[in-house]
């Protein structure tokens, strides 16, 4: 049985990003929700500028939870954070997650090929691009003061992802990846996950665009628990 899920936020997201998932968690499953500096309850802190620093920060927040049967879940940028966090956990010989579950993401080894630099756009173009992804209320686009408050951490997140340099080092952990059928991610970018893990990788698609997770939280959790109950025993 899965005892806890470590939820890692997408770009610009806080520890509350997955609160709509919590009501669908089975009784007894703990949600671990680290907060990134500069986000949510830590909005007064400066956002970190390097993935290495960020992963170390997240590790310090969750290290006491690395016990029992736990998994790591992340959406979009949260998937990259989850992958790199798992690498760090393995390198420290801590108890590893049973598996990794990611949504709305391309493989880490494919990120550099994207060559997208939204973090360099002017403010108006940047926010228009962000809203094209979906998932953010229109009130943010219409509120200049609010945008000004959160633009710095948003840009920091996008910069870290868009300047990520992949080092080939497949991890020996099963991975479940779910993407939306309508999001802008190619088959090649998704199949790259097979190169990033030396264990079983399962790729699935469900209806929706990049933020297909909104309104489909129950289905996503069902996929995660099905993967655990039906596929993990055969791998182990």
Within a domain: residue 142? no
Give the bridge partners for 75, in sequence order: 103
CA 116 to chain centroid, in Å, comes to: 18
Q: What digits encode the pLDDT tens for the residues 56-101?
A: 999 999 999 999 999 999 999 999 999 999 999 999 999 999 999 9
Q: What digits encode the pLDDT tens for the residues 178-214?
A: 999 988 899 999 999 999 999 999 999 999 888 899 8
Within a domain: residue 193? yes
Residue with tokens 């986000």: 39
Query: Residue 179 and residue 187: Cα distance in Å, rounded?
Result: 10
The residue segments making up the domain with residue 183 are 4-114+166-235
**What strand order describes the sheet that includes 175-180?**
30-32, 4-8, 70-75, 100-103, 175-180, 201-206
- Give Rg (Cα) of the chain: 17
Please state the pTM of the whole predicted model. Answer: 0.93
Domain count along the chain: 1
Within a domain: residue 36? yes
DSSP type of residue 73: E
Within a domain: residue 152? no
Within a domain: residue 14? yes
| Total residue length of the chain | 236
Residue with tokens 């310090």: 60
Task: Work out the number of other CB atoms within 10 angstroms of the CB of residue 179.
Answer: 22
Within a domain: residue 151? no
Query: Residue 14 and residue 170: Cα distance in Å, rounded?
Result: 28
Within a domain: residue 32? yes
Query: Residue 41 and residue 43: Cα distance in Å, rounded?
Result: 6
CATH number, domain with residue 93 = 3.40.50.1820
Strands 30-32 and 201-206: unpaired
- 207: three-class secondary structure by DSSP: coil
What share of the chain has pLDDT > 70, as a percent? Answer: 97
Within a domain: residue 133? no
Distances (CA, A) of 50 to 31, 105, 118, 134: 26, 20, 17, 25
> What's the pLDDT score for residue 82?
98
């Amino acid at each position: 049985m899965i005892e806890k899920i470590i939820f890692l936020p997408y770009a610009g997201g806080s520890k509350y990003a997955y609160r709509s998932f919590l009501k669908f968690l089975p009784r007894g499953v703990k949600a671990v929700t680290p907060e990134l500096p500069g986000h949510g309850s830590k909005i007064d802190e400066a956002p970190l500028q390097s993935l290495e620093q960020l992963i170390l920060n997240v590790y310090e927040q969750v290290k006491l939870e690395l016990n029992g049967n736990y998994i790591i879940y992340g959406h979009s940028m949260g998937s990259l954070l989850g992958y790199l966090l798992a690498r760090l956990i393995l390198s420290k010989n801590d108890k590893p997650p049973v598996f990794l579950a990611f949504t709305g993401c391309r493989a880490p080894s494919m990120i550099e090929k994207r060559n997208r630099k939204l973090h360099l756009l002017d403010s108006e173009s940047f926010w228009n691009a962000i809203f094209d992804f979906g998932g953010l209320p229109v009130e943010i686009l219409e509120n200049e003061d609010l945008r000004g408050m959160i633009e710095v951490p948003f840009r920091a997140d996008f910069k870290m992802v868009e300047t990520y340099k992949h080092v080939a080092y497949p991890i020996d952990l099963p991975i479940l990846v779910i993407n939306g059928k309508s999001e802008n991610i190619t088959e090649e970018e998704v199949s790259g996950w097979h190169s990033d893990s030396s264990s079983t990788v399962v790729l699935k698609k469900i209806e929706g665009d990049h933020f297909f997770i909104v309104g489909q939280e129950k289905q996503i959790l069902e996929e995660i628990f099905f993967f655990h109950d039906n596929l993990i025993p055969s791998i182990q």
